[in-house]
Amino acid sequence: MTIRVVEHEGGWLQVDIRVRLPDGTRYRERLKAPVQSKSAARRWAEERERYLALNGPKQPKKEVPTLEDFESRFISEHVEANQLKPSTAASYKSRLKLHIRPALGRLRLDEIDKQSEQRLKAAMKQFDPGTINDTLAVLSRLLNCAAEWGVIGSAPRFAKLKTRQTEIEFFDFDDFERLVDGARKVDPAVLAFVLLAGQAGLRRGEIIALDLTDADFRRGQLTIARSDWYGQIGTTKGGKTRRVPMTKRLTAALQAIRHLRGPRMLYQRNGEPVSENTLRSWLERAERAGGLSVTGHIHQLRHTFCSHLAMRGAPAKAIQELAGHADLSTTMRYMHLSPGSLNQAIRLLEQRDPVGGNSGATKAEEKRN
């Protein structure tokens, strides 16, 4: 540690302090002394040196932005920079605009804490727990980015609300056949749509984005690589390409609608590509023609695909890969439909040991004897 006092023209004094900080790093500080004599300047510098050795240099306090001021940076430098899916980006922006900004927008980022979490939950009390949890996830992502970028020291952790698992609705085997018959009566394209969702498990966006070249009739399989979101084409929900074998009647239905209108698999009669509204209308017409209750619930067809596989004994891992579930827990929601799954599990306990093998207890007894 060294101190030098330097006199400059004009009569003012500068102190030059070199010191080792508490973390072991060497630090140099040159300051104008607030006194006139060299002896007083040295005494002042010695006090400053002791302070630095114990506490380190005082850091200038950062100006922490409010949430609403930081939001645009979060959108441009995280959401857009990382090219999040259009649907994900829209969800982030919507939750920020409708829920997070009205409740917490005027708070500085370093003021957002557990109490702020409760304020947001209270403001959204009319929404279901899943919606609130998704909104908290967006807020958490924003604050984590702020922490990673050095805007705040750390981000708080939020507690999710408990969600109640809803009952899965699907067409049973008889009703699905009635739906297929109804679709056949309406239009060949409607039949292809019902089978793409109900016998291949495609999501609505994946059906809209499906190209003619995605159907490999020689191998008998579909390649699912893209998804549509209000006219914007991106990756599938899990971000992965999957391949799904086609049933014979799906193969026949797709071969029956081959056309030269454009690259997409499905088009409306006016030559325009199909949309979510088109598919909903097609499903309602098929339900009506099949003598079923009219719901227009497109995703119910995907539930039907997974449920029928489980009911016919398909392994959970196979269903997960065919449906493109990112998490096996999603697939497990269908497995209670698997025939005799619980009984089969218990029966495993009644199986005899393999020939020539002994149980752990038997081996222990032999050792004692």
Q: What are the tens digits of pLDDT across the range 335-358?
A: 888 766 666 666 667 766 555 445
How confident is residue 128, by pLDDT bands cut at 50, 70 and 90? Answer: very high
pTM summary value: 0.70
In a domain, 112, yes or no: yes
User: Does 263 lie in the same domain as 229?
Assistant: yes
Q: Does any domain span residue 342? A: no
What is the pLDDT at residue 336?
83
Domain of 27, in residue numbers:
2-55
Q: What is the mean pLDDT of residues 95-111?
A: 97
Which residue, 114, 133, 148, sits at the end of a domain? 148
> What is the structure's pLDDT at 363?
47
Inter-residue contact 124 to 95 (CB < 8 Å) = no
With respect to residue 116, please indicate whether it lies within any of the assigned structural domains.
Answer: yes
Residues 209 and 229 in one domain: yes
Question: Pick the residue with more confidence: 237 or 195?
Answer: 195
Q: Hey, is 4 helix, strand or coil? A: strand
* Residue 332 in this model has a pLDDT that exceeds 50: yes
Q: DSSP assignment, residue 80? A: I
CA 200 – CA 211 distance, rounded (Å): 15
- Quick one: 109 and 178 in the same domain? no
Residue with the two structure tokens 């498990």:
201
* Helices vs strands, H then E, count in the chain: 16, 8
In this model, does residue 192 exceed pLDDT 60?
yes
For the cut 60, the answer to whether the pLDDT of residue 369 exceeds it is no
- Does 180 share its domain with 298? yes
User: Residue 54's Cα: distance from chain center in Å?
Assistant: 46
Residues 14, 105 within the same domain: no
Name residue 158's beta-bridge partners.
none
Identify the weakest region by mean pLDDT among 140-144, 308-312, 342-346: 342-346
pLDDT of residue 337: 81
* CATH number of the domain to which 199 belongs: 1.10.443.10
Query: Per-residue pLDDT tens for 151-189?
Result: 998 899 999 999 887 889 999 999 999 999 999 999 999
- Establish if 122 belongs to a structural domain: yes
Q: Which residue has the tokens 């959970």?
A: 316
In a domain, 298, yes or no: yes
Of the three residues 131, 148, 165, the one that is the final residue of a domain is 148
96 with 198, same domain?
Answer: no
- On whether the CB atoms of residues 99 and 123 are closer than 8 A, the answer is yes
Catalytic residue IDs:
203, 237, 299, 302, 325, 334
Burial 245-255 (b: 16+ CB within 10 A, else e): ebeeebbebbe
Q: Based on the structure, what is the number of domains in the chain? A: 3
Q: Which amino acid is at 78?
A: H
Helix (H) / strand (E) containing 262: none
The secondary structure of residue 263, as a DSSP letter, is S
Inter-residue contact 171 to 305 (CB < 8 Å): no
265 - beta bridge partners? none
Same domain, 73 and 48: no
Same domain, 245 and 296: yes
User: If 0-12 CB within 10 Å is exposed, 13-18 middle and 19+ buried, where does residue 266 land?
Assistant: buried
- Which of 115, 148, 181 is where one domain is finished? 148
Identify whether 142 is part of a domain: yes
Where is average pLDDT lowest: 37-41, 90-94, 124-128, 225-229? 37-41
Q: Are residues 185 and 290 in the same domain?
A: yes
My answer on whether 211 and 286 are in the same domain is yes
Would 191 be classed as within a structural domain? yes
Residue 193 has pLDDT above 80, yes or no: yes
The continuous run of DSSP H or E covering 254 comes out as helix 248-256
Q: Which two tokens stand for residue 109?
A: 């980022």
Higher pLDDT, 219 or 10: 219
DSSP string, 227-246: EEETTEEE--TTS--EEEEP
What is the pLDDT of the chain when averaged over all its residues?
Answer: 90
Eight-class DSSP state of 66: B
What pLDDT, on a 0 to 100 scale, did the predictor assign at position 352? 66
Between 339 and 91, name the one with better pLDDT. Answer: 91
Q: How far apart are the first and last CA of the chain?
A: 77
Q: Are residues 308 and 203 in the same domain?
A: yes
Query: Residue 142's closest CA among 79, 227, 82?
Result: 79
Does position 23 have pLDDT exceeding 90, yes or no?
A: no
Give the pLDDT confidence of 252-304 residue by residue, as tens digits: 999 999 998 899 999 999 999 999 999 999 999 999 999 999 999 999 999 99
Asked whether the CA dihedral 71, 72, 77, 79 is positive or negative, the reply is positive
d(CA 274, CA 269): 10
Establish if 161 belongs to a structural domain.
no
Same domain, yes or no, for 227 and 321? yes
